[in-house]
């Protein structure tokens, strides 16, 4: 294991959603702790599932992990960090400002910008050594790529902004507190770009999209100064049953991806980890992932594949209004982009106007669609493009009314990293409005990034209602109100039939319901159980799938559809339509003996 031979103090595990970052970071932390090291395991993912994998409720400060002496873990809680950050900013002004000024400051600190900088502040403190308790290693389990690249760019962005800004306020309100953190941010940046102290482990699967994203991430990390990189190719599969078409196709697809590995990844020190037949939850499974222990014993309960409808069963009702917003949500790696493309293709094939877009900085819907479909347009919310347009618009509208000094102050404030989130929210809001005239199918970023976007949506809603209640009571329609209108918006929750994606989808559903948004349907994607495979390794995984399918059907979803794993990659119009109507094999799993 090259990344374990002489690991630096800081190890970052990053990659496309669903490639196994959390499992590998947990397995690495356990292995180092078992070797006598003092290890801290940290999740920077707003939708962290470290608690579930380690079987221990986590918070901040770090929590000891029972059964692994020397290992503690924590989740960076964005909301808790934001509350503490707001208090630090507001506290100095309580004795000198009047109530109206304090109220305005609280409102200024209510958005997702504050949540992001507060979470980053916690992250920077770990790198700078604020909470140094003699850790030999600090291992970061990061959010999927787009969110992580944003996080890793912030030390440089905020350090530069605070060094160059001569003024005392930003989009975060008075930043005297931030000024005091300049040295801390600089220390975090120095730790990140020091190859002796920091290494990035790029995690991928033997799948072409995951490898393309790993290669792109590698280049962007190098631009940020993070050159010490290693590669882990996780879940490499070899068929045991050569007569099983599903197993053979899965192996061949993996071999083809490995043969076509992007050139940017080939020079990196590489570790290959086989596909394990067991679920990656609990210490025995995590110890076995890297071969440090024997595989946990499988328990098999007699189950049959339930009769679930295909994705196509949802289309008539979805298409009936002739317009509307369809948001496809879920954990990274569950196939949201594929499902969104399949829905868009079907609606366009019915002669309906469709706009397929994505809020995921790392998504490429066009590469899934391949080819033109009459009536279907494709776009992508690019944070850099949106931020540039946002800044230009503000300067053209607000800046034109200011004198030279005022315009200089405004231009300086707009350099704050916060405005990228506001710009993306603006683009998201435009897509929501566009659904009044046709269908907008939105492939969203992985859960944590999407929750931050929805947090901004909620903050905008509250501020709009407060500001315009008297003058426009009953006449304003905010993006959040559109999302909560089932006749206008339909939320499709996509999951795999695995413990972590199902748990995360259930938690996302609970978050949506608290915001007044009811998901329309659950989609169980890429189901091996629905193929009827009998390969020994896959068959063991299928037993776990059936448990999760039953859980979704009986406890979580009001409406559910299932998509079997496809022998051919679902790329292109014909295969996307085939995927939507794919037949579900009826399978029964019986206990051995």
In a domain, 116, yes or no: no
SS3 content of the chain, % helix, strand, coil (to 5): 50, 15, 35
Q: Are residues 409 and 514 in the same domain?
A: yes
Q: Are residues 252 and 328 in the same domain?
A: no
In a domain, 329, yes or no: yes
In a domain, 95, yes or no: no
The contacts of residue 480 (CB under 8 Å, 6+ apart) are: 457, 458, 460, 461, 515, 516
Token readout for 40 is 């801290």
Summarised one tens digit per residue, pLDDT across range 227-283 is 889 999 999 999 998 999 999 999 999 999 999 999 999 999 999 999 988 878 889
Q: Are residues 180 and 31 in the same domain?
A: yes
Summarised one tens digit per residue, pLDDT across range 315-345 is 999 999 999 999 998 887 888 889 999 999 9
Q: Which residues pair with 203 in a beta bridge?
A: 232
CA–CA distance, 46 with 323 (Å, rounded to integer): 32
Q: Are residues 281 and 316 in the same domain?
A: no
Domain closes at, from 289, 322, 348: 289
The confidence score (pLDDT) of residue 364 equals 67
The contacts of residue 487 (CB under 8 Å, 6+ apart) are: 321, 324
The contacts of residue 329 (CB under 8 Å, 6+ apart) are: 336, 444, 447, 450, 491, 492, 493, 494, 508, 519
Report residue 474's pLDDT band, with 50, 70 and 90 as the boundaries: low
CA–CA distance, 531 with 546 (Å, rounded to integer): 12
| Domain harbouring 316, CATH code | 3.40.50.300
Q: Are residues 279 and 317 in the same domain?
A: no
Q: Are residues 324 and 269 in the same domain?
A: no
Q: Are residues 373 and 278 in the same domain?
A: no
Q: Are residues 242 and 350 in the same domain?
A: no
In a domain, 82, yes or no: no
E strands along 487-570, which residues?
A: 489-495, 521-527, 560-564
Token readout for 106 is 């609280």
Q: Are residues 169 and 200 in the same domain?
A: yes
In a domain, 193, yes or no: yes
CB 496, CB 526: distance < 8 Å: yes
Report residue 172's pLDDT band, with 50, 70 and 90 as the boundaries: very low
Q: Are residues 324 and 440 in the same domain?
A: yes
CA–CA distance, 258 with 593 (Å, rounded to integer): 39
Q: Are residues 265 and 178 in the same domain?
A: yes
In a domain, 417, yes or no: yes
Number of domains in the chain: 2
CA–CA distance, 281 with 503 (Å, rounded to integer): 12
Token readout for 208 is 């072409």
In a domain, 503, yes or no: yes
**What is the torsion angle, in degrees rounded to the nearest 10, for the CA atoms of residue 370, residue 376, residue 377 and residue 379?**
-60
Residue position matching structure tokens 């306020």? 169
Token readout for 91 is 């506290």
Parent domain of 410: 311-589
Q: Are residues 73 and 145 in the same domain?
A: yes
The confidence score (pLDDT) of residue 85 equals 74
């Amino acid at each position: 294991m090259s990344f374990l031979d002489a690991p630096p103090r800081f190890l970052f595990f990053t990659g496309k959603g669903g490639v196994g970052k959390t499992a590998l970071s947990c397995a690495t932390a356990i292995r180092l702790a078992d070797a006598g090291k003092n290890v801290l395991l940290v999740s920077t993912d707003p939708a962290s599932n470290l608690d579930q994998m380690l079987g221990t409720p986590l918070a901040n400060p770090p929590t000891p992990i029972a059964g692994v002496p020397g290992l503690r873990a924590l989740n960076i809680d964005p909301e808790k960090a934001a509350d503490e950050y707001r208090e630090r900013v507001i506290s100095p002004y309580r004795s000198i400002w009047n109530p109206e000024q304090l109220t305005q400051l609280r409102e200024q600190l209510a958005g997702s910008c504050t949540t992001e900088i507060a979470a980053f502040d916690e992250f920077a403190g770990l790198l700078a050594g604020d909470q140094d308790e003699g850790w030999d290693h600090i291992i970061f389990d990061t959010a999927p790529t787009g969110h992580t690249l944003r996080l890793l760019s912030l030390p440089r962005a905020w350090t530069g902004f605070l060094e160059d800004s001569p003024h005392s306020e930003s989009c975060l309100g008075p930043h005297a507190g931030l000024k005091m953190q300049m040295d801390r941010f600089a220390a975090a940046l120095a730790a990140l770009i020091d190859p002796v102290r920091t290494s990035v482990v790029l995690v991928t699967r033997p799948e072409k999209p995951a490898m393309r994203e790993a290669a792109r991430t590698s280049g962007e990390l190098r631009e940020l100064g993070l050159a010490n990189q290693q590669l882990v190719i996780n879940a490499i599969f070899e068929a045991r049953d050569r007569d099983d078409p599903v197993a053979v196709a899965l192996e061949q697809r993996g071999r083809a991806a490995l043969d076509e590995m992007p050139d940017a990844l080939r020079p990196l020190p590489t570790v290959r980890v086989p596909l394990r037949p067991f679920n990656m939850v609990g210490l025995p499974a995590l110890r076995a992932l890297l071969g440090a222990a024997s595989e946990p014993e499988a328990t098999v309960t007699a189950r049959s594949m339930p009769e679930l409808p295909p994705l196509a069963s949802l289309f008539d009702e979805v298409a009936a209004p002739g317009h509307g917003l369809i948001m496809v949500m879920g954990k990274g790696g569950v196939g949201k982009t594929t499902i969104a493309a399949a829905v868009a293709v079907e609606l366009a094939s019915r002669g309906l106007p469709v706009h397929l877009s994505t809020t995921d900085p790392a998504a490429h819907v066009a590469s899934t669609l391949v080819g033109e479909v009459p009536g279907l347009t494709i776009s992508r919310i690019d944070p850099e493009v949106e931020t540039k347009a946002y800044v230009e618009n503000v300067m053209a509208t607000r800046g034109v009314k200011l004198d030279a000094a005022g315009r200089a102050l405004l231009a300086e404030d707009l350099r704050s990293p916060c405005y990228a989130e506001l710009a993306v929210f603006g683009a998201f809001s435009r897509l929501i409005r566009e659904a009044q005239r046709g269908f907008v199918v939105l492939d969203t970023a992985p859960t944590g990034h999407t929750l931050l976007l929805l947090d901004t949506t909620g903050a905008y809603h509250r501020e709009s209602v407060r500001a315009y209640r008297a003058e426009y009571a009953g006449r304003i329609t905010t993006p959040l109100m559109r999302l909560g209108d089932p006749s206008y918006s339909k939320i499709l929750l996509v999951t795999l039939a695995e413990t972590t994606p199902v748990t995360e989808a259930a938690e996302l559903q609970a978050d949506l319901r608290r915001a007044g948004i009811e998901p329309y349907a659950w989609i169980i994607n890429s189901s091996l159980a629905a193929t009827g495979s009998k390969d020994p390794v896959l068959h063991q995984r299928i037993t776990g799938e059936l448990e999760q399918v039953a859980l979704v059907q009986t406890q979580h979803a009001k409406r559910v559809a299932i998509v079997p794993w496809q022998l051919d990659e679902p790329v292109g119009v014909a295969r996307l339509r085939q995927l939507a109507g794919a037949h579900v094999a009826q399978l029964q799993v019986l206990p051995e003996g």
